[in-house]
Amino acid sequence: MKFLNLPHEDNSSAPIRCRSYAYDASQQAESLVRWEQSYEQHSNGGFSGYLDELNLGGVHLFEEFTSQALLQHCCVNEDSIWIGFSQQCQSPRINANQLQQGQLMVRPSHVEFELATPSDFHIFGLVLNKKTIADEFTGLDSDLWLGHPENILITDPRPQLSYELAKLIRMLLTDDSPLNNHISEVGSQARLQRLRPLVTSAITDLLAQITPQNLQNPKDIRSARMVVIERIQKHIEQTGEYPLTVSELCQIACVSRRTLQYAFELGLGTTPIHYIRNCRLNLIRSALLEEGNEKSISDLAIEHGFYHISLFNQHYKQLFGETPTQTINRSNSYSRRIICRDMTHR
């Protein structure tokens, strides 16, 4: 496979085979160009990540790695269904629901969701066009995947199924994949036409193992911790401001300090005060990386509730592994991720 480094803008057409590397969480969020998503970093240290993907039109599959704990705000743009899973013991949370190893997350397009992921995290993803699903599934199988337009669905723990799906995705993303070798002499368009039905059939054969009894809707097991977090997030969305103290958070959520602490630790895996502080630090970082920003570091710090500048610098460096000044100096490199596209598939 021959690779070429390309700027981010050249990737907007969604390559057939691509691997990209990022060294900033926001930079990583741009990797899936057909998604609307933003990442907030919530663990300490410099960030690194990659996205390895194969896009076949109606079928898009990928493996993503992120080195730091993130809160991801996600929305699939196309008329598709996203299926995500991880084989790691340290599992993610989707909309404050803790998943078990081997569970699959299912989410339709144009519906936002939050994904809290731990450090050093690998996640596999499938984005299937609804027409592709309708062509492959019929009757009850089709209703299973297309009959829940706004719900999150998760399977019961199915380690063997997630293992087989991960094995298939990794095989397809391997440079010397038998499937790629099988069609290596075919032209790019013919290659695409040959590859898509084979991949689609292999994926749907595995997904056909899932029955309605294997699926659950987390909304049915909605807990008090979700209500607490949603109240605070709604307040932030409406006012555009982050509360600065635990007392403010308790007043907004209408709960005690103990209940607030419990909700955040189980729902997001962090404490309320760390969550709010990290959110404000992420906002400052985004402003520092914004082209044309004319505000000084101290002005941004005060604007976001940090009145002790040296303490702000300490918190910032602890979270991101660099000083605010270093972020500014590295902004050009953070604005362009390294993209490696398989030139033989063009």
DSSP of 118-133: -SSEEEEEEEEEHHHH
pLDDT in tens, 41-64: 999 999 999 999 888 878 889 999
Domain hosting 242: range is: 222-332
What length does the chain have? 346
248 and 153 within one domain: no
Residues 188 and 248 in one domain: no
230 and 137 within one domain: no
Higher-pLDDT residue of 220 and 50 is 50
Looking at residue 163, what is its pLDDT? 92
Rounded Cα gap, residues 161 and 25, in angstroms: 30
Do residue 211 and residue 233 come from a single domain? no
Encoding tokens for residue 247? 């007392």
Instruction: Kindly state whether residues 175 and 123 are assigned to the same domain.
Output: yes
The whole-number average pLDDT for the span 246-266 is 89
Q: Verify that 226 and 240 share a domain, yes or no.
A: yes
Global pTM value? 0.84
For residue 18, the domain's CATH number is 2.60.120.10
Do residues 143 and 231 both lie within one domain?
A: no
Q: What CATH number does the domain containing 252 carry?
A: 1.10.10.60
Is 191 found in the same domain as 307? Answer: no
Same domain, 142 and 262: no
Backbone angles phi, psi at 17, to 5 degrees: -135, 125
Q: For 22-42, how does the pLDDT look when each residue is reduced to its tens digit (9 = 90+)?
A: 999 998 998 877 788 999 999
**Total domains, the chain:** 2
DSSP codes joined into one string, 260-300: HHHHHHHHTSS-HHHHHHHHHHHHHHHHHHSTT----HHHH
Residues 14, 343 contacting (CB under 8 angstroms): no
Confidence category of residue 11, pLDDT binned at 50, 70, 90: very low
pLDDT at 343 over 60: no
State whether 209 and 125 are in the same domain: yes
Under 8 Å between Cβ of 116 and 71: yes
Integer angstrom CA distances of residue 89 from 50, 51, 99, 118: 20, 21, 10, 11
Instruction: Clarify whether residues 169 and 183 are in a common domain.
Output: yes
228: its two tokens: 């607490």
pLDDT at 340: 65
Based on the domain organization, do 293 and 203 belong to the same domain? no
> Residue 327 — φ and ψ, nearest 5°?
-60, -45
User: For residues 260 and 249, what is the distance between their CA atoms, to the nearest angstrom?
Assistant: 8
Strand stretches in 162-230, DSSP E: 215-216
Which helix or strand (DSSP H or E) is residue 313 part of?
Answer: helix 309-320
